[in-house]
């Protein structure tokens, strides 16, 4: 239900407006003057604010500035009772969506409100759709004809329209997010947002804010009210990747969302209702985590209503030729090249590899094949060379073959590897950040966080 704040010092007009909006199905809050309205917008996030311009204590322009400061995406309509609309036009220059001149017709008000809220909805959906367009083909990105994968496809089809939570388990690189997207885009929620968040990629101190949002001033750096990802996903699906890496505090809050279908923003004092299907994923053994006390048992059973287990690539080697063909065509198209052809001996090498990194490792290898293929067939020695490069790349980055007797600085080592990979991705993509993020399989938010973490500057979006 969309939330509207009505601000006017004329009680009768304010009440008439509120009654009309409530009958239309909106949640309405009233404020008798600008000062009260500013207090409301600092406590809550509204979809639309309708404010008179001339009021005691604080005027409509003050309300407009407060709204745009605390919640820039909120749409503002200003109301004026004066024959000249100069002040209203000035308000539009400052960010107001439109203005109404008193007296006004009910039909006129309803039309403008519908258009204003539709603008907000389209703005949010457009942002999400830009990220999701490549995923709209549902099963197209999941390649496999093995019995194990056919079982996965069958489960996805059967449970897509269910409301139950899903827990996808599998080793890193097996395609857990692709399966989550397939469930969403085959469900009745397919026209609503699919929001993915990697719980292990967001610092613990920021994850609560990312998931549930925050209020202005709730912590250092919270300069405006911010909607969380659960709000963004309302009506659709939220994908919580690496759920096993969440802290006990976050697990408690997730459990409340699942049980009560409501949450509270960081620094907020109001409960927010939400309609979201949760799909979680992990590469950890959550039953073992429950046993050792690092994961809540009640949350585990709430998430594991519909379990999907993804097989590692080494247990479905019959899918490797299909995957190779798929990735060859994909990267050849991206680079504007003709897809190289692998000799039978080269394919035999791929079939015999252990694929510890699963499909993601194979995908990275084929991307390298397409990038470096110089025409003619790709032979056995070519594949062995590129595979050797993958296996030895960790050693080249300074990872010791064994743990030294005196130990090592694990955090410093990991940070060095991460920074090196960020730089290589940026260099590969000529410092185009969005392309570099895709190359590292990161969303834009996670990628920017890492750039700031290592003070890597420059490049373009």
Average of per-residue pLDDT values in the chain = 85
pLDDT score recorded for residue 136: 46
Contacts of 321 (CB under 8 A, 6+ apart): 347, 351
Extended strands (E) in 2-47: 3-7, 27-31
Contacts of 289 (CB under 8 A, 6+ apart): 244, 295, 300
How crowded is residue 244: how many other Cβ atoms within 10 Å of its Cβ?
20
Give the three-class secondary structure for 359: helix
pLDDT score recorded for residue 401: 47
Q: Directed axis angle between helix 380-396 and helix 358-372, to 10°?
A: 120
CATH number corresponding to 410-453 = 1.10.10.60
- Asked whether the predicted pLDDT for residue 66 surpasses 60, the reply is yes
pLDDT score recorded for residue 70: 79
Q: Could you give the maximum distance between any two Cα atoms of the chain, in Å?
A: 84
What confidence category does residue 441 fall into, taking pLDDT thresholds of 50, 70 and 90?
confident
CB of 449 within 8 A of CB of 429? no
Distance CA 455, CA 146 (A): 45
Q: Which of 274, 278, 329, 332 is nearest to 305 (CA)?
A: 278
Concatenating the DSSP letter of every residue in 238-273 gives: EEEETGGG--HHHHHHHHHHHHHSEEE-BT--SEEE
pLDDT score recorded for residue 260: 92
> Tell me: the pLDDT tens digits for 97-119?
888 887 777 888 888 898 888 87
Q: Which of 425, 368, 421 is nearest to 396 (CA)?
A: 421
H or E segment and range at residue 396: helix 380-396
pLDDT score recorded for residue 394: 45
> Tell me: the pLDDT tens digits for 53-62?
888 888 889 9
Do the domains 3-130 and 139-311 sit in the same CATH topology, yes or no?
yes
CB of 362 within 8 A of CB of 386? no
What confidence category does residue 51 fall into, taking pLDDT thresholds of 50, 70 and 90?
very high
Which of 184-198, 404-418, 428-442 is the most confident on average? Answer: 184-198
- Per-residue CA distances from 240 to 15, 53, 165 (Å): 42, 44, 11
CATH 1.10.8.60 matches 319-396:
yes
- Asked whether the predicted pLDDT for residue 137 surpasses 50, the reply is no
- Asked whether the predicted pLDDT for residue 412 surpasses 80, the reply is no
- Asked whether the predicted pLDDT for residue 389 surpasses 80, the reply is no
What confidence category does residue 393 fall into, taking pLDDT thresholds of 50, 70 and 90?
low
pLDDT score recorded for residue 138: 52
pLDDT score recorded for residue 399: 55
Among 89-93, 189-193, 331-335, the least confident range: 89-93
pLDDT score recorded for residue 104: 77
Let me know if 128 is exposed, middle or buried by CB neighbors in 10 A (0-12, 13-18, 19+).
middle
- Asked whether the predicted pLDDT for residue 395 surpasses 50, the reply is no
Give bridge partners of residue 308 from the DSSP assignment: 168
Distance CA 273, CA 365 (A): 45
What average pLDDT does range 229-250 have in this prediction?
Answer: 93
Residue with more model confidence, 36 or 88? 36
Residue with more model confidence, 347 or 399? 347
CB of 25 within 8 A of CB of 4? no
Residue 296, token pair as written in the block? 């809540």
Among 90-99, 129-138, 139-148, 261-270, the least confident range: 129-138
pLDDT score recorded for residue 406: 60
pLDDT score recorded for residue 131: 46
What average pLDDT does range 125-132 have in this prediction?
Answer: 56
- Kindly list the domain boundaries of the chain, sorted by start residue: 3-130, 139-311, 319-396, 410-453
Report the CATH architecture of 3-130.
Answer: 3-Layer(aba) Sandwich (3.40)
- Asked whether the predicted pLDDT for residue 366 surpasses 50, the reply is yes
What average pLDDT does range 341-352 have in this prediction?
Answer: 93
- Per-residue CA distances from 24 to 12, 16, 111, 331 (Å): 19, 13, 12, 50
Give the three-class secondary structure for 76: strand
> Tell me: the pLDDT tens digits for 283-342?
999 999 999 999 999 999 999 999 999 999 999 999 999 999 999 998 998 888 889 999
- Asked whether the predicted pLDDT for residue 125 surpasses 70, the reply is no
pLDDT score recorded for residue 134: 41
pLDDT score recorded for residue 388: 67
Fold exhibited by the domain 139-311: Rossmann fold (3.40.50)
- Asked whether the predicted pLDDT for residue 392 surpasses 70, the reply is no
């Amino acid at each position: 239900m969309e939330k509207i704040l009505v601000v006017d010092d004329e009680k009768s007009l304010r009440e008439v407006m509120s009654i009309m909006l409530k009958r239309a199905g909106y949640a309405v809050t009233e404020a008798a003057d600008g000062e009260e309205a500013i207090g409301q917008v600092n406590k809550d996030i509204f979809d639309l604010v309708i404010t008179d311009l001339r009021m005691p204590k604080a005027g409509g322009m003050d309300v407009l500035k407060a709204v745009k400061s605390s919640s820039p995406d909120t749409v503002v309509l200003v109301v004026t009772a004066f024959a000249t609309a100069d002040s209203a036009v000035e308000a539009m220059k400052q960010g107001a969506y439109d203005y109404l001149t008193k007296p006004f017709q009910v039909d006129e008000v309803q039309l403008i409100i519908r258009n204003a809220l539709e603008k907000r909805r389209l703005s949010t959906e457009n942002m999400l759709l830009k990220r999701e367009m490549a995923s709209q083909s549902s099963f197209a990105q999941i390649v496999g004809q093995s019995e194990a994968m056919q079982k996965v496809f069958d489960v996805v089809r059967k449970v897509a329209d269910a409301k139950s939570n899903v827990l996808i388990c599998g080793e890193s690189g097996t395609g857990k997010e692709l399966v989550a997207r397939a469930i969403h885009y085959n469900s009745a929620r397919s026209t609503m947002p699919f929001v993915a968040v990697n719980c292990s990629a967001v610092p613990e101190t920021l994850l609560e804010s990312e998931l549930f949002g925050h209020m202005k001033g709730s912590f250092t750096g919270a300069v405006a009210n911010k909607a969380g990802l659960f709000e963004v996903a309302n009506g659709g699906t939220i994908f919580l990747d690496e759920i096993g890496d969440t802290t006990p505090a976050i697990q408690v809050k997730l459990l409340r969302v699942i049980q009560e279908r409501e949450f509270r923003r960081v620094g907020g004092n109001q409960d927010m209702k939400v309609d979201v299907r949760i799909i979680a994923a992990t590469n950890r053994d959550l039953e073992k985590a429950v046993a050792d006390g690092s994961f809540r048992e009640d949350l585990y059973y709430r998430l594991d209503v519909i379990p999907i287990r993804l097989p590692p690539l080494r247990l479905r080697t019959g899918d490797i030729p299909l995957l190779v063909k798929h990735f060859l065509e994909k990267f050849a198209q991206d680079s504007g090249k003709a897809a190289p052809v692998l000799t039978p001996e080269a394919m035999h090498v791929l079939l015999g590899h252990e694929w510890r990194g699963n499909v993601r490792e194979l995908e990275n290898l084929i991307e390298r094949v397409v990038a470096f293929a110089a025409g003619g067939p790709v032979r056995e020695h070519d594949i062995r060379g590129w595979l050797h490069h993958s296996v030895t790349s960790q050693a080249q980055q300074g990872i010791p073959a064994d743990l030294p007797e005196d130990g090592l600085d694990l955090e410093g080592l990991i940070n060095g590897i991460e920074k090196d990979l960020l730089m290589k991705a940026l260099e590969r993509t000529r410092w185009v950040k969005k392309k570099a993020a895709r190359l590292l399989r990161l969303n834009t938010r996670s990628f920017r966080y890492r750039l700031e973490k290592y003070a890597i500057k420059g490049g373009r979006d």
